[in-house]
Amino acid sequence: MTQLVMGKSEVYQNALPELNPSYRLLLGPGPCNVDPRILRIASAPQLGHIDPEFFAIMEETAYLLRQVFQTKNEMTLCVSGSGFSGAEAVLSNLLEEGDTLIAGSLGFFSGQIVEISERAGAKVVNLATELGQPLAPETLAQAFKEHPEAKVFATAIAETSTGLWQPLEELERITHAHGALFVVDAVCGLGGVPMDVDAMKIDACYAGSQKSLGALPGLAPITLNDRAVKVIENRKKPVQTYYLNLHKLHRYWNGDHTYHHTACSNLVYTMREALRISLEEGLEARWKRHQLNGEALRAGVKALGLSILTQPGYELPVLTAITLPEGVDELAIRNGLLNEYQIEIGGGFGALKGRLIRIGLMGYNSCRKNVDTVLSALEHVLPRSGLQPAAGAALAAADAIYKAKT
């Protein structure tokens, strides 16, 4: 075997063994464990990206996406990439040099709307909320009063970094009253919280495959209504990106399937199956399942002596952000769960780094078994960080929710 000249050449000069990755219970902010049916279809025979059979699968996937987004939008497809690729696609297509965008920055992830829009040449009015707090409608109304030229207002329905569920109704009303486009980040939320794109009058929405939708990472579903599509059609200059050009992507997915890029057929299979599973369960039933398990988890967390970061009444059912007392080692908690229980949870970003743990219950992972499992593991791990939860209190609190709500 040819000896490598860079890196760990001495280690790699002999043939490496077959991979056998460790099992993890993925209860962080995503990705999440997926239904075994997803893994089975991921290993199906690969199709080429210009195979007529694959085109039919893409069309079926777009059809299912419309049902999950609850929209009739023709421009509904998947961008190859993570949720941020969906954000870049939507924002870079809608925005031109000199446009004004108002951003509802609720935390780290919706906060990236600012950077993406600035890179697209837009002037950004950043409405940053206190972490864990929703954006108040009057704040947006004032921003539009000061910036009547604003072309877009963009925010998230589900802020993954703080566990916030942002109400959208009044924000939409204010946005459209000023003639601007209403853009929503649903990366964490789609498939886990109520989403009706048409009824909510959302002009453009993007999501992620690996969270509440329950598919594998690597695709970003998007949908744009006719109003948003016309904005793209009326651009003064062509979209600055080839790969994320939505008209070209739409033609590839929903038109005559003219070549655009080499899409991964196996990832599209998993998206199709995840959407089919969601609709098989029923969207209302799926939302209620996430709501119940999120509520039970929060009750158990409080019984452990911990508090929820998010303002009461605005907690996400799919992601719980838990504030740690001063001096408690966040990394020790996460490492204890990972090393001893094979459970992955998330930590905090930015100002919340070291002060927060985040537990996700999304898609296939949102179930009573996982609620009980992570609460039991936390009860054993927390004492090493100086916390002494009452034995059995967390499971009893979660159990009380299940008894009351089922």
Question: Which residues have CB under 8 Å from 277's CB, separation 6+?
Answer: 35, 37, 38, 214
d(CA 399, CA 392): 11
CA dist., res. 105 & res. 139, Å (int): 12
For residue 343, pLDDT over 90 is answered with yes
Q: Kindly tell me the burial class for residue 366, based on how many C-beta atoms sit within 10 Å of its own C-beta (0-12, 13-18, 19 or more).
A: buried
How big is the chain, counted in residues? 406
158-186 pLDDT tens trace: 999 999 999 999 999 999 999 999 999 99
* CB proximity list for 89: less than 8 A, separation 6 or greater: 79, 206, 220, 222, 241, 244, 246, 249
Q: How confident is the model at residue 7 (pLDDT cuts 50, 70, 90)?
A: low
- The pLDDT tens digits for 243-257 are 999 999 999 999 999
Q: What is the largest CA-CA distance in the chain?
A: 69
CA dist 261 → 79, 248, 256, 267, 325 (Å) = 10, 10, 14, 14, 49
Helices (H), 189-282: 226-233, 246-254, 265-281
Question: Model-level pTM?
Answer: 0.95
- Over 80: is that where the pLDDT of 3 sits? no
3-state secondary structure of 315: strand
Q: Which amino acid appears at position 359 of this protein? A: I
Average pLDDT rounded to a whole number, residues 328-346: 96
Q: Which domains does the chain have, with CATH numbers?
A: 36-280 (3.40.640.10), 283-405 (3.90.1150.10)
**pLDDT over 80 (residue 228):** yes
The dihedral through the CA atoms of 160, 162, 168, 171 has a sign that is negative
For 57-114, the pLDDT digits (tens) are 999 999 999 999 999 999 999 999 999 999 999 999 999 999 999 999 999 999 999 9
pLDDT the model gives residue 385:
86
What is the amino acid identity at position 163? Answer: G
**Residues 16-55 pLDDT 10s:** 888 999 999 999 999 999 999 999 999 999 999 999 999 9
Q: Which residue has the tokens 């939505």?
A: 246
Q: What distance in Å separates the CA atoms of residue 381 and residue 375, rounded to the nearest whole number?
A: 10
